[in-house]
């Protein structure tokens, strides 16, 4: 390879080889892009949790790349029973039905309980405090209507190329959804 | 309930446009302005925009995986930005070298900016480690194409720094790499970056190249140690002594013949590696756990995430195993190709280290040069050309 | 040069700044590390102290000081956590400010101190060649290292997973979880539901003592104070005895160790409240919250309460599921007991008036609580319990409510036949013996119905009916030949199963609410005033034993092994000398 007759020889040959390789690379890249064009979504995607598949494992609170997870509990009020004994709010077999810390499930007190009228109470989530641990979601699903469920909140989500929680999701509930339909909400189905 | 929307879709195009503009600026700074200062400014901009503002996502380094997954997974469509972030830097590199690395890539910019006192990495170590990016690239493509995981993203050391949070291990590895980067120039770019590997190949065949000076090289050797990234090459005659010629030829022929063998050996080893690699795939891992726990009682009480996952498998045992089998077949193909790729990388590296080069000037290596423009300021001819110093008649007063 | 530096080192200020920022960054970095570790260990989600305090509160539910302690700790943990997160954020931003200063200072110092490059040594054109030779060795070493590494990982060994259709079939076949079927024998030697394993208030295998002495404790294995009130009867499975108890505050299921009489667990029901408009219905105090007997499928124990709460517990006391069927509209309170068939739970939930269509028959999957079917019944309130029996090899369930005895296909819930034969407030439950269903219309008639009919069988399948001393509260008991009834006032009557001919009767002149029960050829009777009577279950009246016990019995006895389990108002009793190993050690059957 290094036996060019003149000092100009190998340089020219190299130049030629390089040009050939470049053309080949461009052609290859073109083909690759051509293949990809059909598989391109003009509309981007974001990550979301399918609440029907969620198994409330608690990984959302711990596996997000953010210190305080982008996954939070949301409340479908249309499904809520406004129960006095809310199993999402209260621990199993609570000591008493009041807002004392010893009775409450939520580790960060992110659920607010407000009296509506006897015997109804409204439950709202304070998202600044919610860490997505799914304790209330589990309670509500096991004994209640399942009106509490987890969703990725897109005001916080960084939309990582690959969601770190999706990798460890026990229910395989994470998926990419079109950016114009970024939530998979529960509602009463008829 | 409120549903705050995600970042609007058009921002993808804005990002791509910013990338294109940054690449254009980089080219202008490297080839026209030949300005290190300008590149520093561009680096700071990229670091802030692509790094801290966009949190390192989307990035070109990871986009390789999006493309690989889009090619092999019919259910996945790569976003426009991923394709733009992959194609633009490669296209630029094919024509004008690694302008992307110089100051557009936030990872490169970060490492470039924190470099304090570069130590010279011995050539043998540099060359030995230089195969790693290619292997990392192969592994990244393998795991993305099989739908396993985006390892390049999951193990990216700098993204946790851009996000200012992340897994403890990744944050620590990022900090470690930064501290190392203060004394070793761009360790991630040189010894790990899989996208850098692609750009290196593209740069090797680029039409235009970065030169220390467009003017005549007087071989003053002032730039000899100027490159903190080990990309500076010294002049070579390209011709061995006549008595060495036959043996070198023999060696080269041998290397050329051994390479296919290496590829086959790699492919064979890769196939053996398939079951282990497949375990990283959630479906296969679940099937494994399912079979390992078959016949054991279902756990009661508070269920761990692993228990819940197992429960999911137990509800659909056949589906679990069928999904796992499908992935395993993919992995057989994938790891075979991956093994062959490793063989090819080693073989090609070996051959390239057998070749002699003809080089009359001091010039940065086409592939290794990240176009940081540091060496420009070392060349007296260049400084004269740019009017920084005036050509002096009496040699005694100059640094020469 | 040295003179210059003494005068004033131009780098000095940068060196100082470098040091300052270096120290700043290091200290800040350390603080952040410590903070990070703290947020991991002492956060409100995993705090062991908080967990422990909550457990302590469970033991002393009335401890107000403990409650205050929990609240304080909870608040400080939460506040601490969020403060820590804020502090960490601030710290990171400060670090982000400090690091560039450090880097910039260092670079400045080095730039000031930099010597112009002086190429050293002679230029050797051959040196790249030599370098390449060492590089080749390095690449070879790298390749070897990788090969060894990959080989090492691979040889760690991953058990082969099935790949082909055939292998998958094999894996599924071999690994088929061996669900231990609850065998008929297991079932027969237990008392899994109201009316016993056969549905006729008799145990085919139990051998309880014929006599005992409460004063000396002879043949009384244990007696424990009743932990909760409720009129439901005990059931027994394996080495466990179950019953329920409840009040407005709490509905619970209890498990007693059959061997020792120790309380194994008590688990409160946490059923969800009923959604919808508030129900102002009261639970009648006379019957209370727990008149319904529990039932087990051998893997779970089920309980229903007068307020419509339905719950399933695993045999270890953990909750499996719970539901709220809503407070039934029943003037005396819901009293129908639960029953099971294989892994199905059967609930008779009759209420209101016949035309209201509020009454229901539910079939529920025991393990999950999934409702398999829910049939609306055009009947009013009933206090009888459902009877599960097999006819023609198919499971059936018979429900009583005025004026019909209706039998359904248990698997589908389709009605098979009905017989118009009931009057009054239907409380005695139907029983099944020798292929015949026996139904008592309170203080009216005792009827034998052949269960193989379809449609209205009133005219065709009633084999016989008798009108002597028909009970209005208790259910009959039967063996293969005879059926015994006891009226509330104490009239014990014996009929022949085949033709309904009265064999004998005897008046004990004391009030009975507990049904008679048969084991080892003997009838056991327990009166409301604590009188216990043992008779021979034969065609002649023959009293074997009679004693006065210090309790009051409303609940029917349960036989298991060589024991009788009694639930009095004040005590839970276990009569018998000892536990035969076959019963005492029997593990609660479950999925392996």
The DSSP secondary structure of C450-475, one letter per residue, reads -TT--EE-TTTTEEEEE-SS--SSSP
Q: Do C568 and C483 fall within a single domain?
A: yes
Chain B residues touching C101 at Cβ < 8 A: none
Is position C82 within any domain?
yes
Residue B394 pLDDT = 55
Domain segments of chain B as ranges: 14-235+364-397, 245-294+302-354
Q: At which of C112, C134, C161 does a domain end?
A: C112
Residue B109: helix, strand or coil by DSSP? helix
B6 contacts A179? CB cut-off 8 A: yes
In a domain? residue C152: no
Q: Which two tokens stand for residue C347?
A: 């609930």
Query: Among residues 111-130 of chain C, which lie with CB inside 8 Å of chain B?
Result: 116-117, 119, 123, 125, 127-129
Per-residue pLDDT of chain C (592 residues; tens, 9 = 90+): 444 445 567 788 999 999 999 999 999 999 988 888 877 777 777 788 888 888 888 888 888 899 999 999 999 988 988 888 889 899 999 999 999 999 999 999 988 888 877 777 676 666 778 888 899 999 999 999 999 998 988 887 677 888 888 888 888 877 554 455 667 788 888 899 999 998 999 998 888 999 898 888 888 888 888 888 888 999 999 889 999 998 877 888 999 988 888 888 888 887 766 554 445 567 777 788 899 999 998 888 999 998 888 999 988 888 888 888 888 888 888 899 999 988 889 999 998 888 887 888 999 988 878 788 888 888 988 999 999 998 888 899 999 998 899 999 998 889 999 999 888 888 999 999 989 999 999 888 999 999 999 999 998 999 999 988 899 899 999 998 999 999 999 999 999 999 999 999 999 999 999 999 999 999 999 999 999 999 999 999 999 999 999 899 999 999 998 899 999 988 899 998 765 444 433 343 333 3
- Chain A residues near residue C42 by CB distance under 8 angstroms: none
B-contacting residues in C 311-330 (Cβ below 8 Å): 314, 316, 318
Q: At C443, which CATH number?
A: 2.130.10.10
Percentage of chain A beyond pLDDT 70 is 92
Distance between CA atoms of C301 and C298, rounded to whole angstroms? 8
Comparing CA positions, the residue from C283, C275, C285 lying closest to residue C304 is C283
Distance CA C537, CA C486 (A): 13
What's the gap in Å between the CA of A174 and the closest CA on chain C?
A: 24
Across the interface, do A168 and B305 touch by the CB < 8 Å criterion? yes
- 8 Å CB contact of A2 and B238: yes
CA–CA gap between residue C13 and residue C312 (Å, rounded): 76
Task: Note the pLDDT of residue A87.
Answer: 84
List B residues 97-156 in contact with C (Cβ-Cβ < 8 A). 113-114, 116-117, 123-129, 131-132, 135
Give the C-alpha separation, B366 to B203, whole Å. 6
Residues in chain A with CB shorter than 8 Å from the CB of C309 are: none
C529 close to A (CB below 8 A):
no
Tell me if A149 sits within 8 A of A186, measured CB to CB: yes
- The whole-chain average pLDDT of chain A stands at 86
Give the residue from chain B lying closest to A22, CA to CA: B205
Q: Which residue of A has its CA nearest to B148?
A: A167
Q: Cβ(C529)–Cβ(C569) under 8 Å?
A: no
The reported pLDDT for the residue numbered C273 is 64
Instruction: Please report the beta strands in B16-143, taking only residues with DSSP state E, as ranges in sequence order.
Output: 78-79
Chains that touch C (3 or more CB pairs under 8 A): A, B
C503 vs A188, which has greater pLDDT?
C503
CB-CB neighbors (< 8 A) of C142 in chain B = 128-129, 131-132, 346
Are the C-beta atoms of residues A162 and B149 closer than 8 Å to each other? yes
Rounded CA-CA distance C234/C256 in Å is 10
- The residues, any chain, with a CB within 8 Å of residue C76's CB and separated by 6 or more, are none
Residue A52's CB is within 10 A of a number of other CB atoms, namely 11
Nearest-angstrom CA–CA distance, C366 and C344 = 5
End-to-end distance of chain C based on CA atoms, in angstroms?
86
Question: What average pLDDT does the segment A35-42 reach?
Answer: 76
Q: State how far the Cα of C580 lies from the Cα of C52, in Å rounded to an integer.
A: 39
- Closest Cα in chain C, distance from residue A34 (Å): 34
* Strand extents, DSSP E, C286-443: 295-296, 300-304, 309-314, 319-324, 339-341, 344-349, 359-365, 371-377, 387-391, 394-401, 404-409, 415-420, 431-433, 436-441
> Tokens 């997974």 — which residue?
B73
Q: How far is it, in rounded angstroms, from Cα C556 to Cα B354?
A: 96
Residues of chain B positioned with their CB less than 8 A from the CB of A157? 6
Three-state DSSP state, B23: helix
- In B, which residues are within 8 Å of A18 by CB distance? 204-207
pTM greater than 0.90: no
Query: How do the domains of chain A map onto residue ranges?
Result: 9-40, 45-178
CA-nearest residue to B400 within chain C is C118
Nearest-Cα distance to chain A for C174, in Å, is 26
Whether residue C46 sits in one domain with residue C194: no
Give the pLDDT confidence of A86-102 residue by residue, as tens digits.
Answer: 889 998 778 888 888 88
* Residue B52 distance to chain C (closest CA, Å): 11
Cβ neighbours of A76 in B, within 8 Å: 1
| Chain C hits for A131, Cβ within 8 Å | 45
Rounded Cα distance, B41 and B44, in Å: 5
* Whole-number CA gyration radius for chain B: 25
CB atoms within 10 A of CB C122: 6
Where in the sequence is the domain holding C311, given as residue range(s)?
Answer: 184-584
Residue C305 and residue C213 in one domain: yes
Pairing outcome for strands C431-433 and C462-466 = unpaired
Give me the number of domains chain C comprises: 2
3-state secondary structure of B101: helix
Q: Which among A31, A27, A14, A36 has a CA at the least distance from the CA of B94? A: A27
How does pLDDT run across A150-178, given as a tens digit for each residue? 999 999 999 999 999 999 999 999 999 98
Counting as low any pLDDT under 50, the low residues of chain B are 397-400
ipTM of the complex: 0.90
Least Cα separation, residue C66 to chain A (angstroms): 9
* Number of helices and strands in chain B (H, E): 18, 3
C-alpha of B256 from chain center: 26
Task: Give residue C531's pLDDT.
Answer: 92
Mapping DSSP to helix (H, G, I), strand (E, B) and coil, where does residue C432 land?
A: strand
pLDDT computed for residue A1 by the predictor: 36
């Amino acid at each position: 390879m290094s036996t060019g007759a003149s000092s100009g020889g190998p340089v020219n040959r190299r130049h030629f080889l390089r040009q050939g390789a470049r053309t080949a690379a461009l052609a290859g890249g073109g083909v690759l892009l051509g293949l990809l064009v059909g598989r391109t979504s003009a509309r981007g995607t974001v990550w979301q949790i399918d609440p029907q598949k969620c198994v409330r494992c608690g990984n959302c609170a711990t596996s997000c790349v953010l210190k305080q997870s982008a996954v939070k509990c949301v409340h479908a009020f249309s499904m809520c029973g406004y129960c006095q004994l809310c199993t999402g709010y209260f621990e199993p077999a609570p000591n008493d039905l009041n807002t004392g810390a010893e009775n409450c499930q939520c580790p960060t007190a992110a659920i607010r309980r407000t009296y509506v009228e006897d015997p109804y109470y409204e439950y709202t989530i304070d998202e600044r405090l919610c860490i997505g641990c799914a304790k209330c979601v589990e309670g509500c699903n096991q004994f209640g209507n399942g009106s509490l469920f987890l969703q990725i909140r897109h005001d916080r989500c960084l939309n990582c190329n690959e969601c770190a929680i999706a990798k460890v999701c026990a229910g395989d509930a994470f998926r990419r959804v079109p950016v114009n339909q970024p939530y998979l909400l529960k509602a009463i189905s008829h | 309930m409120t549903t705050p929307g995600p970042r609007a879709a058009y921002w993808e195009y804005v990002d791509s446009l910013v990338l294109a503009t940054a690449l254009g600026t980089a080219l202008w700074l490297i080839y026209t302005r030949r300005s290190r200062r300008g590149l520093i400014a561009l680096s700071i901009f990229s670091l802030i925009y692509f790094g801290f503002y966009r949190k390192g996502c989307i990035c070109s380094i990871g986009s390789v995986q999006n493309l690989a997954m889009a090619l092999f997974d019919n259910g996945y469509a790569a976003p426009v930005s991923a394709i733009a972030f992959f194609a633009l830097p490669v296209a630029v590199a094919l024509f004008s070298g690694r302008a992307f690395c110089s100051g557009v890539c936030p990872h490169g910019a970060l490492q470039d900016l924190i470099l304090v006192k570069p130590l010279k990495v011995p050539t043998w170590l540099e060359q030995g480690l230089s195969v790693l990016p290619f292997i990392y690239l192969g592994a990244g493509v393998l795991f993305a194409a099989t739908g396993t995981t985006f390892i390049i993203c999951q193990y990216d050391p700098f993204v946790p720094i851009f996000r200012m949070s992340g897994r403890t291990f990744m944050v620590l590895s990022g900090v470690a790499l930064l501290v190392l980067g203060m004394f070793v120039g761009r360790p991630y770019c040189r010894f790990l970056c899989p996208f850098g590997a692609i750009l290196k190949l593209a740069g090797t065949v680029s039409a235009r190249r970065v030169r220390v000076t467009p003017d005549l090289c007087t071989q003053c050797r002032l730039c000899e140690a100027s490159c903190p990234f080990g990309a500076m090459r010294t002049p070579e005659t390209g011709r061995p002594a006549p008595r060495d010629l036959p043996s070198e030829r023999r060696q080269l022929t041998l290397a050329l013949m051994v390479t296919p063998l290496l590829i086959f050996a790699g492919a064979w080893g890769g196939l053996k590696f398939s079951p282990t690699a497949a375990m990283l795939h959630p479906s296969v891992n679940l099937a494994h756990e399912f079979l390992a726990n078959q016949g054991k009682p279902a756990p009661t009480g508070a269920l761990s995430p692993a228990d819940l996952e197992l429960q999911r498998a137990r509800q659909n045992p056949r589906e679990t195993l069928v999904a796992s089998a499908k992935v395993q077949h993919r992995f057989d193909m994938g790891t075979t190709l991956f093994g062959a790729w490793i063989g090819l990388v080693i073989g090609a590296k070996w051959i390239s280290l057998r070749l002699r080069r003809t080089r009359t000037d001091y010039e940065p290596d086409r592939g290794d040069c990240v176009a940081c423009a540091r060496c420009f300021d070392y060349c007296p001819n260049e400084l004269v050309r740019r009017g920084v110093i005036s050509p002096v008649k009496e040699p005694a007063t100059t640094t020469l | 040069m040295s003179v210059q530096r003494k005068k004033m080192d131009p780098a000095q200020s940068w060196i100082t700044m470098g040091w300052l920022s270096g120290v700043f960054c290091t200290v800040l970095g350390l603080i952040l590390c410590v903070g990070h570790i703290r947020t991991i260990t002492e956060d409100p989600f995993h705090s062991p102290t908080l967990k422990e305090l909550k457990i302590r509160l469970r033991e002393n539910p009335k401890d107000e000081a403990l409650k205050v302690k929990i609240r304080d700790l909870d608040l400080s943990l939460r506040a601490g956590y969020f403060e820590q997160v804020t502090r960490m954020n601030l710290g990171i931003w400060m670090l982000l400010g400090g690091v560039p200063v450090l880097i910039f200072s260092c670079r400045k110092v080095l730039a000031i101190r930099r010597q112009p490059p002086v190429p050293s040594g002679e230029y050797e054109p051959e040196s790249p060649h030599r370098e390449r030779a060492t590089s080749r060795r390095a690449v070879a070493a790298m390749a070897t290292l990788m090969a060894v590494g990959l080989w090492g990982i691979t040889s760690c060994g991953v058990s082969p997973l099935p790949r082909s259709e055939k292998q998958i079939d094999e894996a599924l076949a071999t690994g088929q979880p061996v669900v231990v079927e609850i065998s008929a024998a297991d079932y027969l030697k237990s008392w899994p539901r109201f009316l016993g394993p056969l549905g006729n208030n008799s145990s085919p295998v139990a051998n309880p003592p014929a006599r005992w002495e409460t004063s000396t404790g002879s043949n009384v294995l244990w007696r424990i104070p009743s932990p909760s009130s409720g009129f439901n009867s005990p059931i027994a499975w394996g080495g466990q005895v179950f019953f329920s108890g409840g009040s407005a505050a709490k509905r619970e299921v209890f498990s007693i160790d059959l061997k020792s009489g120790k309380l194994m667990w008590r688990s409160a029901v946490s059923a969800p409240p009923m959604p919808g408009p508030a129900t102002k219905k009261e639970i009648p105090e006379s019957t209370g919250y727990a008149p319904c007997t529990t039932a087990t499928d051998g893997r779970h124990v089920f309980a229903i309460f007068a307020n419509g709460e339905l719950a399933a517990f695993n045999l270890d006391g953990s909750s499996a599921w719970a539901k709220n069927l809503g407070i039934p509209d029943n003037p005396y309170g819901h009293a129908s007991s639960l029953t099971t068939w294989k892994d199905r739970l059967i609930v008779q939930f009759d209420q209101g008036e016949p035309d209201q269509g509020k009454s229901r028959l539910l079939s529920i999957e025991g393990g999950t609580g999934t409702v398999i079917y829910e049939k609306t019944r055009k009947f009013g309130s009933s206090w009888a319990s459902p009877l599960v029996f097999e006819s023609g090899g198919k499971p059936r369930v018979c429900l009583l409510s005025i004026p019909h005895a209706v039998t359904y296909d248990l698997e589908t819930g389709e009605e098979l036949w009905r017989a118009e034969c009931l009057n009054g407030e239907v409380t005695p439950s139907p029983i099944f013996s020798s292929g015949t269903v026996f139904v008592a219309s309170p203080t009216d008639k005792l009827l034998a119905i052949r269960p193989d009919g379809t449609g209205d069988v009133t005219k065709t399948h009633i084999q016989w009916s008798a009108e002597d001393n028909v009970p209005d509260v208790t259910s009959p008991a039967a063996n293969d030949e005879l059926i015994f009834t006891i009226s509330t006032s104490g009239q014990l009557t014996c009929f022949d199963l085949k033709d309904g001919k009265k064999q004998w009767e005897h008046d004990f002149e004391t009030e009975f609410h507990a049904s008679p029960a048969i084991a080892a050829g003997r009838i056991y009777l327990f009166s409301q005033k604590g009188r216990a009577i043992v008779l021979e279950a034969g065609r002649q009246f023959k009293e074997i034993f009679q004693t006065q016990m210090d309790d009051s019995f409303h609940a029917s006895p349960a036989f298991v092994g060589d024991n009788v389990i009694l639930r009095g108002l004040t005590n839970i009793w276990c009569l018998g000398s000892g536990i035969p190993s076959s019963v005492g050690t029997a593990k609660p059957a479950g999925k392996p």
